[in-house]
Amino acid sequence: MKERAVLTPELFRKLLDWYEENKRVLPWREDADPYHVWISEIMLQQTRVETVKAYYLRWMERFPTVSALAAAEEDEVLKAWEGLGYYSRARNLHKAAKIIENAYGGKLPADKALLRGLPGVGEYTAGAILSIAFGIGEPAVDGNVLRVISRLTADPSDVSKGEVRAALADALRPLMPKGETSAFTQALFELGALICLPKDAFRCELCPLVEDCRAYKEGRQGDFPVKPEKAAPRAEARTVLLLECEGKYLVRKRPSKGLLANLYEFPNAEGKLSEGDVCAFLSDLAGEEISPRKVESLPEATHVFTHLVWNMTGYLVRLSSPKAASLFGADAVFASPREIKETYSLPSAFSAYKKFAR
């Protein structure tokens, strides 16, 4: 690790003063309730602040406490998460709420080891909850913090390595001022979110730390943080079927493990099927039981997951009998457009086709 002499109490004092003047008004900053901090931190992972605001407010209306979340059905939780992606976050929140309710009387524990024992709570989230909600000097090192600190120190270490993140947390811990741990954590996030932006979007002319920044002095802001190249996501062709009968559309629950687990979907198959292939596929599945009245081609669509890209072809298939539902699994149902909107959680991978279910 490059030496971090640049990280001093004086530097963080400048940062804290800047934060006090410039912090955004955000719904989860209205108080330091541990439940509020926890939910907002999980939502903010991989998701933009502007998107999270509306989800957070709706979530708090629906599940205002840990107890309310613990008592909800999983389908209800997934529905509230619909469109945020990375659904394991929602499943883990639900599982963790049940543990907090049963083991800790509905209150998040102010203890790192206990927090780390909850599903979906890693080093970063534990640090955020402890420092923001409980005033405990535990750093929360996320992508924003890694970017800011690696630029300040011009540190060439590979930030994707766990030991590099742990060493950075160790360097920050003694610098967290007593009574200001919440502002410390949020000031670093805020600088990374508003000023020390990724790639070449840094706004050093507005940065309160510009005089201390080694990357700035060396004109190498864009060289940090150092990370290995990401492998390109694997492309997969899929064909999505909107099976319509009497104004309702067939949706089914996905398996309980793997990609988009337990969410609902329109039936789909691997590969790019032609209209003829679709008819053959349905007839192989059920013979005369689901003879299509009409098959219409829908626009192609793409959805990018972290490691996978779905290149989708779609068809609207009008059926004369609803008997087909049971052929697509025990959870398959014909749902009205309203039920699809309000009850069944369809991930955004199917958004391009959801609008044809009307």
Report the interface residues with ligand SF4, using CB under 6 A. 148, 151-152, 195-196, 202, 204, 207, 209-210, 213, 215-216, 221
Residue 317 dihedral angles phi and psi, to the nearest 5°: -115, 120
Contact 93, 69 (CB under 8 A): yes
Q: Does the annotation count 20 as an active-site position?
A: no
Question: What's the closest the beta carbon of residue 22 comes to ligand SF4, in angstroms?
Answer: 13
Q: What is the DSSP string of 34-69?
A: HHHHHHHHHHHTTS-HHHHHHHHHHHHHH--SHHHH
User: Which of these is catalytic: 10, 21, 41, 296?
Assistant: 41
Please say which residue, 209 or 278, places its beta carbon nearer to ligand SF4.
Answer: 209
- Which is nearest to 334 in space by CA: 271, 216, 247, 218? 247
Please say which residue, 196 or 290, places its beta carbon nearer to ligand SF4.
Answer: 196
Please say which residue, 40 or 150, places its beta carbon nearer to ligand SF4.
Answer: 150
Token pair, residue 4, equals: 């971090």
Buried b (16+ CB within 10 A) or exposed e, 148-183: bbbbbbbbebebeeeebbebbbebbeeebeeebbbb
Question: What's the closest the beta carbon of residue 8 comes to ligand SF4, in angstroms?
Answer: 14
Question: What's the closest the beta carbon of residue 151 comes to ligand SF4, in angstroms?
Answer: 4
Cα separation, 9 vs 7, whole angstroms: 7
End-to-end CA distance of the chain: 57
Please say which residue, 149 or 333, places its beta carbon nearer to ligand SF4.
Answer: 149
Question: What's the closest the beta carbon of residue 210 comes to ligand SF4, in angstroms?
Answer: 4
Active-site residue numbers?
A: 41
